[in-house]
Every structure is written in C-alpha cells, then in structure tokens.
Amino acid sequence: MLRRTAMPAPVRAVFAAEMAAARRPGPINERWRAAERAHIVSQPWPGPHTRTHAVMLRLGVAERDLVEVLGQLARLAVAGVGSAAGKYPSGNTGRTRAGLNTPMPIPGDLAALLEAAGIRLEA
C-alpha cells in the first residue's frame, strides 16, 4: 500500500476553502462546483478524499437525486482505499455521472497546485 505524506499547506488551504463553499448555503450548482474542485485536489489523500464524497452525498440527498446518492455511497466505500493505494483517476470530479474510473482534465489552477506539491498528474 502506498504511503502518502500529509496534505501540503497550500493544497490544504484550497481544499478547505472549496469544502467550505460546498457546505455553505447557496445555489446548488456553485456548491457542486466547489465539491468537485475539492475532490480533484483531495484524491491523493484518503481522509480528505473520503470527506469530499460525504459532502457530495449530502448534496445528492439535498437534490433528492437517487442515482447520485447511490453513486456517492459506492464512492464512500472505495475512495479512501483507492487513495491509499494510489489508484484514482486524475481530474475526476467525483460525481456519479463522471464514471468511477474516468480520468478527466484538471483545471489549470488545480494542476499547478498539485504539481507544486509534488503530485504526479496523469497525462
């Protein structure tokens, strides 16, 4: 099993800000966008990655989206293990519609943040 260091402070700051925005009352599409960005930066770390899926589960429940809720329950079961093993699709937004193992483009600001933290990004 791959052992990963603690989330670097710059990544942790972005993660915390995006998670706060995802939890804050407001337009649901903005909350989802923040949760997706938090997911992208959290993938290399089991705890934060799992917490992101918990927030996504709450968003799915708030929208009464059964497909999203079921997808997030499945992701909660595998997120931490996948991160610990270093097996996760880079850039994946974490939404059920994204597909569990589908790599996706990483927004430029998040890619630069992760690269600066020494996280190798898939091409």
Segment 89-101 shows an average pLDDT of: 93
Question: Can you give the residue ranges of every domain in the chain?
Answer: 9-115
Longest dimension (CA), the chain: 39
CA separation for the pair 3, 118 (Å, rounded): 14
In the predicted structure, residue 1 carries a pLDDT above the cut 50: no
Model pLDDT for residues 65-80, shown as the tens digit of each residue: 999 999 999 999 999 9
Q: Please report the pLDDT score of residue 123 as a whole number.
A: 53
Model pLDDT for residues 25-63, shown as the tens digit of each residue: 999 999 999 999 999 999 999 999 999 999 999 999 999
